[in-house]
């Protein structure tokens, strides 16, 4: 647990560098492929309310999905946790913590019992579904709480960040599915 921290810090640095050195065309094309795999998947077609994210630091851009007829939820960082607000294309956004776009604080809140699917941003995922994030622990805390534990989760990464094995911590909870530009990978 203690020794995995420097490994995670270095891995995060390398993978973020790799992601941010993609050119615009490559980023757009791979993001488009990720969106089309998601759109064709049954967790997506069956879901009414989906939690997602606004792309930051060249994360896969899912914005092509947001015109689909779903209730879309986006996070706001409040203290150590995430609040989820309804947002539709055309609604206002603002720049929140860490420089990430977020819905306005007055946008309607989404409760856990309304949520069918969570699209989880990641720096990397492994073939067991474990995830490396930015180190804030936001999704680890969310997914460890009783009301969120059983929600279907899809980690979203480019293929170069889909790895055989990430260092894990006691609190890490594996995701159910990972989606890259080559398709969906179901965890055992």
Ligand X SMILES: Nc1nc2c(c(=O)[nH]1)N(C=O)[C@@H](CNc1ccc(C(=O)N[C@@H](CCC(=O)O)C(=O)O)cc1)CN2
Ligand Y SMILES: Nc1ncnc2c1ncn2[C@@H]1O[C@H](COP(=O)(O)OP(=O)(O)OP(=O)(O)O)[C@@H](O)[C@H]1O
141 binds ligand Y (CB under 6 A): yes
Are residues 35 and 65 in contact, defined by beta-carbon separation less than 8 angstroms? yes
Decide whether 137 or 152 has the Cβ nearer to ligand X. Answer: 137
Binding mask 1-40 for ligand Y (x = CB under 6 A): ----------------------------------------
Q: How far apart are CA 188 and CA 182, in angstroms?
A: 18
Q: How many residues bind ligand Y (CB under 6 A)?
A: 14
Q: Look at residues 57, 71, 6, 59 and name the one whose alpha carbon lies nearest to residue 35.
A: 59
Decide whether 66 or 134 has the Cβ nearer to ligand X. Answer: 134
From ligand X, ligand Y, none, interface partner of 117 (C-beta below 5 to 8 A by class): none
132 binds ligand Y (CB under 6 A): yes
Q: How many CB atoms lie within 10 A of CB 22?
A: 16
Q: How far apart are CA 13 and CA 154, in angstroms?
A: 23
Site for ligand X in 27-56 (CB under 6 A): 53-56
**How distant is the alpha carbon of residue 15 from its chain centre?**
16
Task: Give the CB-nearest residue to ligand X.
Answer: 136
187 binds ligand X (CB under 6 A): no
114 binds ligand Y (CB under 6 A): no
98 binds ligand X (CB under 6 A): yes
Q: How far apart are CA 15 and CA 77, in angstroms?
A: 23
Q: How far apart are CA 66 and CA 35, in angstroms?
A: 10
Query: Where do contacts with ligand X occur on this chain (CB under 6 A)?
Result: 53-56, 59, 75, 77, 82, 98, 100, 121, 133-136, 138-139
């Amino acid at each position: 647990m203690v020794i995995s921290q420097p490994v995670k810090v270095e891995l995060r640095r390398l993978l973020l560098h790799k992601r941010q050195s993609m050119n615009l065309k490559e980023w757009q094309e791979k993001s488009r492929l990720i969106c089309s795999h998601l759109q064709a998947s049954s967790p997506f077609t069956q879901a009414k309310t989906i939690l997602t994210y606004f792309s930051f630091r060249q994360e896969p851009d899912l914005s092509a999905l947001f015109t689909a007829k779903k209730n879309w939820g986006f996070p706001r960082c409040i203290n150590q946790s995430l609040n989820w607000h309804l947002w539709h294309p055309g609604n206002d956004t603002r720049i929140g913590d860490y420089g990430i776009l977020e819905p306005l604080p007055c946008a309607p809140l989404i409760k856990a019992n309304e949520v069918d699917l969570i699209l989880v941003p990641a720096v990397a995922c492994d073939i067991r579904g474990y995830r490396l994030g930015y180190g804030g622990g936001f999704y680890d805390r969310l997914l460890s709480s009783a009301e969120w534990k059983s929600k279907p989760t899809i980690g979203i990464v480019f293929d170069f960040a889909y790895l055989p094995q990430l260092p894990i911590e006691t609190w890490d909870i594996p995701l159910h599915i990972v989606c890259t530009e080559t398709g969906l990978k179901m965890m055992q």
